[in-house]
Amino acid sequence: MTLASVLTAAQMRDAEQVAMAAGVTEYALMERAGAAAAEIIWRAGAKRDLLVLCGPGNNGGDGFVIARLLRARGVPVRVAALGESRTESSRTARAAWNGPIEPLADAAPATQMVDALFGTGLSRGLDTAVADQLAMLTAQASFSYAIDLPSGVETDSGALLSRVPAFGICIALGALKPAHLLYPAAGCFERLLCADIGTEAPDRICRLEPPALAIPAAAAHKYSRGLVAIVGGAMAGASRLASHAAARSGAGMVRHIGLESPIGGPDAIVALQGDEADEVTALLSDQRLAAVVAGPGLGRDDRARARLASVLTCGRPLVLDADALTLLGEENASAVPAGSILTPHEGEFVRLFGDLPGSKIDKALKAARRSGAVIIYKGADCVIAAPDGRAAVATGASSWLSTAGTGDVLAGLVAGRLAVTGDPFRAACEAVWLHGDAARRAGAAFIADDLIMQFPAVIASRL
Ligand SMILES: NC(=O)C1=CN([C@@H]2O[C@H](COP(=O)(O)OP(=O)(O)OC[C@H]3O[C@@H](n4cnc5c(N)ncnc54)[C@H](O)[C@@H]3O)[C@@H](O)[C@H]2O)[C@H](O)CC1
Ligand SMILES: [K+]
């Protein structure tokens, strides 16, 4: 397990049980958690006065450990508790604090504030008075820390069960939980750190990490580096963006199959005209094609439908986006060949797969299993899911990405990385990360074309 692993509340409990079966007591885990969090708080806030809010469970127990360890370092610490401690470990931590405890309702603000009210597994929202007091104390503090999770978030879905304030740092304990990456919970803190407490767990679901990319082999040629085709349609600009993105993705060659010729844009892109579906079929019969994109600018009329049918039966690895997803949704997602990559946003996802139960991660995994395709479920939190149960979650993307054409750019980039790697899940992960980093570098008020110009530098940074 890495500290990028994402565990549900049940999986975290299992990980805790495994550690306890190996001889580590629950209280020892609490001491580790409190020590790791105290170290982070010490580095961030040093000796500034600190208020620790402790809840009745083990999250509150972590709070008592933090309070004790920082007091020992000379930090002026006050503790405010929400009633009695109800678990054995939290009672032990409370006794070891051995200092004054104020009622939460009476607590006055401090420069630093620690929220150790509720953590993993919370099933109901905080009482309004408690949530309001937490919000007031957080707003008044210059430094605020949420221990494990901001109190009031639902661990597995990222939903808010009650009012949750905005924290400075969230200190995840042992592993990330879905709520650290899924909105709205993921928007309740500025920085996320994960503290190692020595627990082990499977790492099928992870936060998306920066990829390790390779330079072309010495003997590489344009076909060995990956040949991409983009099948355009009624709106040439969108498929041109996808083509241009693929061209700067590291792939060897890009062909644009449009309704008109020439297409404009970089001359390195081979512009082909294919008006009729049988022409598209013929152009896609090249066995060297390592990725075919359809959707951006395809259109939704009968001609688009016929062009999509040519794509779906071409036998080459596919990336389906935008209009292709809409046309598929009207008919049947099962027409998607296994091994494809689908890049739906919220609306397209629901049209394709219906209103599936569970968190965004659960939904993406179900859709991947059902369709046999890798799913890139886009949004501020972007979930990449594979049919074999792996998933990666990207979060914190630039909100400037909410501009026309960035999805077309992503589709082209995904296809380019698919052509380079031949591995749909890896390609999807690489592309989402590169796209996000290009947006970070592009800064403010960029347009989709600007993102593409960042790709060479972004790729260079990962070689
Ligand atoms: N998993 C680990 O390896 C470790 C986790 N640690 C910390 O423990 C918490 C989870 O602790 P738990 O006791 O299960 O939950 P809470 O602290 O959130 O408290 C539950 C407690 O509160 C009651 N309750 C629930 N909701 C409400 C509400 N809205 N209002 C009032 N009371 C409520 C509920 O009935 C329970 O009594 C995890 O996050 C870590 O911080 C340890 O550090 C050990 C290692
Ligand atoms: K908390």
| Atom 3 of ligand 1, nearest CA residue | 16
Coil, helix or strand at residue 85: coil
| Atom 37 of ligand 1, nearest CA residue | 57
pLDDT at residue 129, rounded to an integer? 97
Atom of ligand 1 nearest to the CA of 19: 3
Q: Is 60 annotated as a binding residue?
A: yes
**Separation between Cα atoms, residue 152 and residue 214, nearest integer Å:** 43
CA of 146 to the centre of ligand 2 (A): 5
Q: Is 332 annotated as a binding residue?
A: no
CATH architecture observed for domain 9-207: 3-Layer(aba) Sandwich (3.40)
323-347 residue pLDDT tens: 999 999 866 777 899 889 999 999 9
pTM greater than 0.90 = yes
75-100 residue pLDDT tens: 999 999 999 999 999 999 999 999 99
**Separation between Cα atoms, residue 30 and residue 33, nearest integer Å:** 5
CB 136 within 8 A of CB 115: no
CATH number for the region 227-460 comes to 3.40.1190.20
**Separation between Cα atoms, residue 298 and residue 292, nearest integer Å:** 13
Task: Report residue 313 as tokens.
Answer: 């039966």
pLDDT band at 263 (very low <50, low <70, confident <90, very high): low
| Atom 42 of ligand 1, nearest CA residue | 30
pLDDT at residue 1, rounded to an integer? 42
116-175 residue pLDDT tens: 999 999 999 999 999 999 999 999 999 999 999 999 999 999 999 999 999 999 999 999
Residues with CB under 5 A from ligand 2 (ion): 115, 119, 146-147, 151
Poorest-confidence range of 93-102, 199-208, 454-463? 199-208
CA of 130 to the centre of ligand 2 (A): 13
Tell me where in the chain the CATH 3.40.50.10260 domain(s) lie: 9-207
Q: Is 119 annotated as a binding residue?
A: yes
Task: Give ipTM to 2 decimals.
Answer: 0.94
Best residue for ligand 1 mutational test, from 7, 88, 92, 118 (most atoms within 8 Å of Cβ): 118
CA 261 remoteness from chain centre: 39
**190 phi and psi angles, rounded to 5 deg:** -85, -40
Mean pLDDT throughout 302-311?
95
In this prediction, what percent of the chain has a pLDDT beyond 70? 98
DSSP sequence for 308-359: HHHHHTS-S-EEE-HHHHHHHHHS-GGGSPTT-EE---HHHHHHHH-S-SS-
Q: Is 132 annotated as a binding residue?
A: no
In this prediction, what percent of the chain has a pLDDT beyond 90? 89
CA of 193 to the centre of ligand 2 (A): 14
C-alpha atoms less than 13 angstroms from C-alpha of 458 in its C-beta half-sphere: 26
Residue corresponding to tokens 């933090």: 66
Coil, helix or strand at residue 88: helix
pLDDT band at 232 (very low <50, low <70, confident <90, very high): very high
Q: Is 237 annotated as a binding residue?
A: no
Mean pLDDT throughout 92-115?
97
CA of 57 to the centre of ligand 1 (A): 4
* β-pair type (143-147, 167-173): parallel
pLDDT at residue 241, rounded to an integer? 95
| Atom 19 of ligand 1, nearest CA residue | 57
**Separation between Cα atoms, residue 147 and residue 166, nearest integer Å:** 13
Best residue for ligand 1 mutational test, from 87, 173, 180, 199 (most atoms within 8 Å of Cβ): 173
Q: What angle do CA 173, 179, 183 make, to 5 degrees?
A: 145
CB 292 within 8 A of CB 317: yes
Question: Residues with Cβ within 6 A of ligand 1?
Answer: 12, 16, 26, 29-30, 33, 55-60, 62, 86-87, 118-122, 124-126, 147-148, 173-174, 197, 199
Q: Is 345 annotated as a binding residue?
A: yes
Q: Is 22 annotated as a binding residue?
A: no
pLDDT band at 198 (very low <50, low <70, confident <90, very high): confident
Mean pLDDT throughout 225-245?
94
Atom of ligand 1 nearest to the CA of 90: 13
Mean pLDDT throughout 250-277?
87
CA of 80 to the centre of ligand 2 (A): 14
DSSP sequence for 280-295: HHHHTT-TTEEEEEE-
Q: Could you give the angle at which helices 88-97 and 26-45 cross, rounded to 10 degrees?
A: 50
| Atom 39 of ligand 1, nearest CA residue | 119
Best residue for ligand 1 mutational test, from 12, 14, 54, 120 (most atoms within 8 Å of Cβ): 120
Tell me where in the chain the CATH 3.40.1190.20 domain(s) lie: 227-460
